């Protein structure tokens, strides 16, 4: 099967028929769908057989896969590609970060290439200080990218207030005379989008965000205007009712995390077309690993209550029509790259998001909002041939994506079984 899927110099075009195909752009499932692709792009998708001209005169498909579902490769909506996510030990996490830039880069490049082989074909990053994401962004978009190189969309260093949360993945606004020149500097360095850190993180022992927001509404509005002037979207890390309020009123494009969000704020997000990445996984990881992390009693109860409330807010967001996207915060403590995204999808499913919606949003939804129109995340003509084939119907449950699947990536075909996960 793999050799009938892979592109070769002798046969530069493949024509397959899949039992069902996820047309994420049109939010529908095609039965017995034809899919034709070269190494560079998809040339045909449809329920009808392609014309002879499209398939270079081939009379029959190269492969019929009636028991398989074809779907676009997954896009991770929020990751920190420079961090090893699975590691739980704080000292080892700190030591990891002390490695030099080149070592951090090399490990991240290996990570990205493993992710592509697992079917995670692109990721939007939340920032790093060592130009790791920027270098990967440039390489992954270049003609001489190595095989199995997932696209990375990077903001460079996130932007935080000096002395406040964010220094391990960002640099302070105060390095620049004003907000406009700070954003200009990020764009000059090659940023694909602008990432700001308007709030701190949750204090688990107190079960709340206790520090006051880092940026005012007016400052966030300035970030938005500056990002917009350069054609970049504004990604904002915010949790806590007040900080979330500032981010929404500041007009950010995507709200990351958003713990303690209110129903009224969700309605405002819908009205202002702000997308939400609820990132359940990093908090769930704290509960799953409570013993190792040293959480018990009141703190553990706080974590569970925060997750319950967040799941309820996700249901409210979906009922209101908020654009809920899929990102796991992979790289953060206990959230491995790759499996973290699958875990986020499972948690969204458990929170009440429909399985089909999760699949649409983790592919075309993330493509549309997060990738600057890069042609990845959809099975449509002109998009890159990066897709999954599986006998384990993902429309029954997203958990099926963790089982055996074949990944087609720019002409190469491989089963996920037997791929070493390395330092994801
Ligand atoms: Zn993050």
* Ligand 1 midpoint to CA 86 (Å): 15
pLDDT at 390: 98
* Cα–Cα distance for residue pair 323/333, rounded to 1 Å: 26
Q: Are 410 and 40 in contact (CB under 8 A)?
A: yes
Q: Are 233 and 275 in contact (CB under 8 A)?
A: no
* Ligand 1 midpoint to CA 216 (Å): 20
pLDDT at 48: 96
pLDDT at 421: 77
* Ligand 1 midpoint to CA 29 (Å): 32
* Ligand 1 midpoint to CA 334 (Å): 13
* Ligand 1 midpoint to CA 169 (Å): 9
* Cα–Cα distance for residue pair 358/116, rounded to 1 Å: 20
pLDDT at 225: 98
Domains and CATH numbers, the chain: 2-72+377-415 (2.30.40.10), 74-370 (3.20.20.140)
* Ligand 1 midpoint to CA 153 (Å): 14
Output the furthest CA–CA distance in the chain (Å, rounded): 69
* Ligand 1 midpoint to CA 298 (Å): 26
* Ligand 1 midpoint to CA 193 (Å): 14
Nearest to 369 by CA among 326, 329, 328: 326
> Phi and psi for 286 in degrees, rounded to 5?
-65, -35
* Ligand 1 midpoint to CA 6 (Å): 35
* Cα–Cα distance for residue pair 387/384, rounded to 1 Å: 9
* Ligand 1 midpoint to CA 420 (Å): 25
pLDDT at 123: 98
* Ligand 1 midpoint to CA 299 (Å): 22
* Ligand 1 midpoint to CA 45 (Å): 35
pLDDT at 422: 74
* Ligand 1 midpoint to CA 80 (Å): 6
* Ligand 1 midpoint to CA 279 (Å): 9
pLDDT at 321: 98
Q: Are 160 and 120 in contact (CB under 8 A)?
A: no
pTM over 0.95: yes
* Ligand 1 midpoint to CA 199 (Å): 12
Residues in CB range of 83: below 8 A, 6 or more apart: 93, 96, 97, 128, 169, 331, 332
* Ligand 1 midpoint to CA 277 (Å): 10
The two structure tokens encoding residue 318: 């979906």
* Ligand 1 midpoint to CA 3 (Å): 39
* Ligand 1 midpoint to CA 354 (Å): 25
Residues in CB range of 195: below 8 A, 6 or more apart: 126, 127, 155, 158, 159, 170, 235, 236, 237
* Ligand 1 midpoint to CA 290 (Å): 20
* Ligand 1 midpoint to CA 266 (Å): 20
Q: Are 61 and 16 in contact (CB under 8 A)?
A: yes
120 vs 18, 224, 339, CA distance in Å?
Answer: 20, 29, 10
* Ligand 1 midpoint to CA 269 (Å): 20
pLDDT at 420: 78
* Ligand 1 midpoint to CA 278 (Å): 11
* Ligand 1 midpoint to CA 331 (Å): 8
* Ligand 1 midpoint to CA 263 (Å): 23
* Ligand 1 midpoint to CA 361 (Å): 19
* Ligand 1 midpoint to CA 327 (Å): 9
* Ligand 1 midpoint to CA 239 (Å): 12
Which segments in the chain show pLDDT lower than 70?
Answer: none
* Ligand 1 midpoint to CA 284 (Å): 15
* Ligand 1 midpoint to CA 132 (Å): 15
The two structure tokens encoding residue 135: 């270098």
* Ligand 1 midpoint to CA 126 (Å): 5
């Amino acid at each position: 099967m793999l050799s009938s899927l892979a592109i070769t110099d002798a046969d530069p075009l493949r024509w397959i028929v899949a039992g069902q195909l996820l047309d994420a752009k049109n939010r529908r499932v095609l039965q017995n769908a034809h899919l034709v692709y070269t190494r560079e792009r998809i040339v045909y998708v449809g329920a009808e057989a392609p014309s002879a001209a499209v398939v270079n005169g081939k009379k029959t498909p190269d492969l019929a896969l009636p028991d398989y579902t074809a779907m676009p490769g997954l896009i991770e909506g929020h990751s920190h590609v420079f961090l090893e996510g699975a590691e739980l030990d704080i000292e080892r996490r700190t030591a990891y970060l002390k490695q030099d830039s080149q070592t951090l880069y090399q490990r991240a490049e290996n990570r990205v290439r493993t992710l592509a082989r697992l079917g995670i074909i692109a990721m939007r990053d939340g920032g790093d200080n060592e130009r790791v994401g920027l270098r990967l962004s440039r390489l992954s978009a270049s003609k001489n990218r190595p095989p199995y190189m997932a696209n990375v969309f990077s903001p460079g260093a996130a932007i935080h207030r000096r002395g406040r949360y964010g220094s391990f993945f960002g640099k302070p606004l105060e390095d620049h005379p004003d907000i406009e020149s700070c954003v200009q500097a990020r764009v000059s360095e090659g940023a694909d989008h602008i990432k700001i850190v308007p709030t701190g993180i949750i204090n688990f022992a107190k079960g709340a965000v206790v520090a006051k927001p880092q940026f005012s509404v007016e400052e966030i509005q300035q970030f938005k205007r500056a990002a917009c002037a350069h054609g970049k979207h504004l990604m904002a890390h915010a949790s806590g009712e007040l900080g979330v309020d500032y981010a929404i009123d500041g007009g950010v494009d995507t709200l990351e995390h958003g713990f303690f969000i209110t129903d009224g704020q969700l309605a405002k997000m819908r009205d202002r077309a702000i997308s939400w990445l609820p990132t359940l996984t990093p908090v769930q990881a704290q509960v799953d690993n409570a013993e190792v992390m040293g959480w018990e009693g009141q703190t553990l109860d706080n974590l569970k209550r925060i997750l319950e409330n967040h799941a309820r807010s996700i249901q409210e967001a979906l009922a209101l029509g908020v654009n809920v996207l899929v990102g796991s915060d992979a790289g953060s403590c206990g959230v491995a790259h790759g499996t973290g995204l699958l875990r986020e999808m499972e948690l969204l499913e458990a929170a009440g998001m429909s399985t089909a919606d999760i699949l649409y949003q983790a592919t075309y939804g993330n493509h549309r909002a997060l990738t600057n129109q890069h042609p990845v995340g959809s099975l449509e003509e002109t998009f890159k041939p990066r897709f999954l084939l599986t006998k384990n119907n993902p429309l029954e449950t997203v958990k099926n994506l963790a089982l055996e699947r074949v990944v087609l990536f720019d002409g190469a075909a491989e089963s996920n079984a037997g791929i070493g996960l390395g330092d994801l």
